[in-house]
Amino acid sequence: MSDTDWTFLSDGLDAATVSRGVTAGIERPPGGGRFLYGFNSRAASPGAVALSCALVDFAPLPSGGSIRACIQRGPGGGPLGFAPFLFLCGQGTSVNDAAYLLGLSDDDPHRVVLRKGAISGGVPSEGAGTLLTSAESFVQGTWLHLRLDAIVNDTGDVVLDVFENDLDTHPLGTPPDWRRVDGMPQLIDDALGVTSGSSPLTSGRVGFGFQTRDVTRRGFFDHLELIRQD
């Protein structure tokens, strides 16, 4: 996918506050190519920046879908104050709109977190909107190959599944071995709004982003894949 396949969500941090773009200057995940996409905060301004896919049938997704990517909470000025994430079923074109977010929590060590809420809120390991948190924690600088599925049933329920691929045994360029993340069972965001406290998100934008509240915080992405539900 090229730069023209993505568009920035509105109300996000500007490029003077958070640098963003493609680079060959960061070590890629096992099996990765020549480049990756990264974010680097230049100021201690709280907020988020995110990109959504601009391709036909993905802008927005007519129903659910799947997003897969390698994500890293990069080394920088400190271990706290930032979180990279993927998102599905974003409800608008602003970082203030709600979505399902899967990312690496603002903790040391960090965990994989699934959250439902405003994209600008990132992925705290607990609190409003947090749906699932991984049992395993990870140190800063760890590449994780993650997958989030949001499948809409005929009843209006949204079935959420989180998977990971072990990059040491199945590096990029080889078929992934998707396994459920420990501590993150299948979750149904039901049409009645019981599970999450609000109606499920059955369509919308898909993409990736970075939340920060401090300077020299970094997040990296590689091997983004998108699939829409037919």
DSSP 14: P
Q: How far is CA 215 from the centre of its chain?
A: 21
204: left (phi over 0), alpha (psi -120 to 50) or beta: left
Q: How confident is the model at residue 127 (pLDDT cuts 50, 70, 90)?
A: confident
Q: Which residue has the tokens 């949204």?
A: 158
Give residue-wise pLDDT tens across range 89-109. 999 999 999 999 999 999 999
Give residue-wise pLDDT tens across range 172-218. 999 999 999 999 999 999 999 999 999 999 999 999 999 999 999 99
Report the chain's C-alpha Rg in angstroms: 16
Topology of domain 3-228 in CATH is Jelly Rolls (2.60.120)
Q: How confident is the model at residue 230 (pLDDT cuts 50, 70, 90)?
A: confident
Give residue-wise pLDDT tens across range 5-31. 999 999 999 999 999 999 999 999 999
What residue segments make up the domains of the chain, in order of their start?
Answer: 3-228
